[in-house]
Each structure stands twice: as C-alpha cells, then as structure tokens.
Amino acid sequence: MAIMLIGFICIAMVVMTAYAAELRCENNALIAKNKVLQGEVDTLGIKINTANNIEQIEKIAKEKLGMIYPTSENCVYLSEEDAPKHNFAAVIRKEAYN
C-alpha cells in the first residue's frame, strides 16, 4: 500500500511539473508578444508626436495643401476700428510658435 501511495505521489509530481512547464512556456510567449506590442505602441507614440509637431503641420499645409500665411493685404475688416494696430498675420504666426 505504501509503495502504491509513493508511486501515486511521484506520478502526481511529474504531472504537476509538466503542467508548470507548460504554464511557464505560455507565460514566456505572452511576455514576448507583450514586448512586440509595446514596441509598436512606442513607435506609434513617436509617429503621433512627430505628426503633431507644429513644423510638420506647417510643412504639410504648405507642400500638400498649398496653404500660406495671410498677409495684411489678404485681411478684410468690417470697419477701421476692427483692424489691429500691428500686422495681424505676423501676430498669428508668432502665436503659433509660442
């Protein structure tokens, strides 16, 4: 009876060790996937920061969309009192970079 109990315990230990090894293997695979995904998240974060950069936005606006900063001749005011004392286009440009 004692030999059967010891045999059963040994078999149970082998099964539990195999199950633990399988769990470790799955865990390592998930850790590797997590590292890959974290790398992708970091790359996308850098791309977002680059795309949100004011110089990048201005470059795309000028090159792809043909946009330019307005000059004082391009601005129309309803009355003389509405017109700013300084060049309004220069004020807008200065505000964009501060």
What are the tens digits of pLDDT across the range 23-78? 999 999 999 999 999 999 999 999 998 888 888 888 899 999 999 887 767 777 77
pLDDT (0 to 100) of residue 88: 66
Residue 91 lies in a domain: yes
CA–CA dist 41, 74 (Å, integer): 43
Q: If we measure between CA atoms, which residue out of 75, 70, 78, 76 comes closest to residue 96? A: 70
Residue 20 lies in a domain: yes
pLDDT (0 to 100) of residue 54: 84
Token duo for residue 3: 């030999």
- Asked if residue 46 and residue 8 are part of one domain, the reply reads yes
Best-predicted range by mean pLDDT (4-8, 20-24, 83-87): 20-24
Work out how many domains the chain is built from and give that number.
2
Is pLDDT of 98 > 70? no
Q: Name the residue range of residue 75's domain.
A: 66-98
- Asked if residue 71 and residue 46 are part of one domain, the reply reads no
- Asked if residue 70 and residue 37 are part of one domain, the reply reads no
Out of 17-21, 37-41, 87-91, which region has the weakest mean confidence (pLDDT)? 87-91
CA–CA dist 19, 12 (Å, integer): 10
Residue 58 lies in a domain: no
- Asked if residue 2 and residue 28 are part of one domain, the reply reads yes
